[in-house]
Chains A and B, each alone.
Chain A
Amino acid sequence: MQSSIKPSRFSLAQRESLWAYTFITPWILGFLIFTVGPMLASLYFSFTEYDIVTSPKWIGLTNYINLFHDGLFWHSLGVTFKYAVISLPLGLIISYLIAVLLNQKIRGINFWRTVYFLPSVIAGVAVALLWGRIFDPKFGILNPFLAQFGIKGPGWLSDPQWAIPALVIMSLWSVGGNIIIYLAGLQGVPTDLYDAAKVDGATAWQRFRHVTLPMTTPVIFYNLILGLIGTFQYFTEVYVLTNGSGNPARATLFYNLYLYQNAFKYFHMGYASTMAWILFIIVLGITLLIFRSSDTWVYYEGQLRGR
């Protein structure tokens, strides 16, 4: 090719590598500047006292020891876990069931899909403000609705007992993102498996239990992992609803909110970096546990067929 006209110092393979690395250069630079560098820096900060204005002062393990004795650290960890334990399974199950319904061949299915995905495109501040009003005991609409069934609704966001359940309800409204991913997974289940099951006389439930469910475990796994990471990043809704305070009675002081307060309210950058690294280790630990367990419950078609 061109090499016959202009002899090159590089072999074809070398040139191909050069092109590859040229094209991925933006990511490599970004990875170094915005991931590796900051990670190392925050690890260093975690051993220092640092308020941005004056330069970091090495204090060894002090931050880690203080963190261990910080009641609010444990409290915020507890709040986050409590929310995760309620919202993750509920969200995964409900969105899966809805996805199964939305995968049926029924009239107007595209209309229903449109409705169910709608809330997921408007996440953020506006949603939090809307739900804050809905939960209002006096002028909201949730408690009057419950009252029709003779249930006296709680104060929701103003009641330390009910603030977390309120946030869970709010999160269930926007499970559309999960549904989209489940739906993609459900549509990827090969038709011949259903046909074979039908030939064998399997009922609708048996087809669901022994074909659909195992074949979609990879997407359940994917949603579980991303949901877990998302929970530990949970911030916007609770910041907006409590003006960054984590009240009532710190019942909604999520880990990420407490980290934010330390970093950008008190400018304890060193301490906040310690919190960030502890969070990283916790998330990594749980993720590895789930990955480990995935051998027993996640089914990959490719493994069996040797693709």
Chain B
Amino acid sequence: MTGLTRSPSRTVSSRRSFSGISGQSFLLKSITTIVLAAGAGVIMIPFLYLLSTSVKDRDQMRQSPPPLIPVAATTVEINGQNEPLYHVTIDGQISEMALIKNRPGGKGLFVDPSNPGQTHELLIADQTSLEHLEIHWENYPQALQKMKFNKLLINTLLVTFLGMAGMLFSCSLVAYGFSRFRAPWLNVMFILLLSTIMLPSQVRLLPTYVLFNKLGWVDTLLPLIIPQFFANAYDVFLLRQFFMTIPLELDDAAKIDGASPLQTLMYVILPQARPALVSVAIFHFLYAWNDFYEPLIYLHSPQHWTLAVGLQTFNALYAVNTNYIMAASAVMILPPIILYFLAQRIFTQGVVFTGVKG
């Protein structure tokens, strides 16, 4: 296993892949950009659909196919009835008229709102209906209140951040142990650790459930938090890879100053490893925030649910209210997206991921 991509030679290489300053390369770059833009469009459409559906009301949701912009038909009141407005063409003249009645053969009766007495019978398909933007922000507070968002949020934050603290604490210690010391069988231990990545979680899931059940921890947040204090293979691996890149001279200097190994970890290694610690913390946040399986099996009563479980149940109860479901989903995906934009460099430059190479 080689170290992380921190050496300059590696980062430079990305610039060169197809390059060369020729017409051919310009063509390649143009095609690349076009393909990337098309794909990006496909990726963004579901987000647009999510947002637009989340601010529609009942009538707007019945539009089929659903417009990606939340619009509603513009209406006008005629004889106490709300009638849809159309741009109507009569003898080449365009005017605004309301459709008051459908007639056979795809025709309709149109009237001028200022002169409702005179009707015109015209083909509806030839006229264009008037629409305007209509956004129902109130869906958000209503959806959040219905799903008891606050309680779910508190539980999710507890699980996420207490778990994160446990993970950072235990994984730093273990990664330090695996990166800075020689000891018999330590390599075997490290291989054992790595092999647990490949272990399907199901083989340990049921007895772990039984264990937590015996401890009386089922239907509390503890089964989701406590195991984080016992380190996990992914994060130990990533942290160890990073620790290996920190020069040993720093340790030696600390040792000469009389620092114990624990002090060396706290005052030398951890400050140096901040980028790696931030990375694993972010990935843990995403994992814990989105996790569904374990909260589903461990948390039975609604007051202990996390957002993932609460949202799933909310959908089961309010499936017809797609606008509420989408509003709640939008709120649920917001924190990961904000975090993603704040910590973009960690994702887009793969600061930590290169550890997997070889």
Contact = CB atoms under 8 A, between A and B. Distances in A.
A105 B40 contact: no
Contact of B203 (A131, A277, A302): A277
Given A19-B261, A188-B10, A240-B315, A106 B231 contact: no
Nearest to B354: A184
A194 B9 CA distance: 13
Contacts of B49: 130, 133-134, 141
A42 B11 CA distance: 46
Interface stretch (A32-40, A58-66, A84-92): A32-40
Contacts of A27: 170, 174, 193, 230-231, 236
Interface stretch (B73-81, B82-90, B181-189): B181-189
Contacts of B229: 26, 30
Interface string B343-356: 01001101001101
A110 interface: yes
Contacts of B40: 112, 115-116
B191 interface: no
Interface residues of B, number: 113
B312 A273 contact: no
Contacts of A138: 64
Interface stretch (B16-24, B99-107, B111-119, B132-140): B16-24
B302 interface: no
A26 B231 contact: yes
B322 interface: yes
15 contacts: A25-B173, A26-B170, A26-B173, A27-B174, A28-B189, A38-B207, A42-B204, A112-B40, A114-B341, A118-B43, A189-B17, A194-B13, A212-B17, A219-B356, A276-B205
A130 B173 contact: no
B122 interface: no
A264 interface: yes
Interface in B1-36: 2, 5, 9-20, 24-25, 28-29, 32-33, 35-36
A133 B36 CA distance: 26
Ordered nearest first, which 4 A-B pairs have the shortest CB separation?
A: A30-B230, A23-B177, A144-B65, A20-B181
Interface in B142-194: 170, 173-174, 176-178, 181-184, 186, 189, 192-193
B200 A232 contact: yes
Given A37-B207, A187-B10, A236-B293, A20 B177 contact: yes
A181 B356 CA distance: 8
B141 interface: no
Interface string A223-248: 00100010011011001100100000
Nearest to B10: A188
Category for how many chain A residues contact B:
35 or more
Contacts of A294: none
B186 A30 contact: no
B13 A141 contact: no
A250 interface: no
Contact of A39 (B170, B176, B204): B204
A255 to B, nearest CB: 9
A68 interface: no
A2 B344 CA distance: 46
Nearest to B169: A26
Give the residue among A1, A124, A134 with the most B Cβ atoms within 10 A.
A124
Interface in A2-41: 2, 13, 16-17, 19-31, 33-35, 37-39, 41
A77 interface: no
Given A184-B354, A194-B16, A301-B358, 17 more contacts: A16-B181, A17-B183, A20-B181, A27-B236, A34-B227, A114-B344, A116-B40, A118-B47, A121-B340, A122-B290, A129-B311, A129-B315, A184-B353, A208-B18, A229-B198, A240-B292, A276-B202
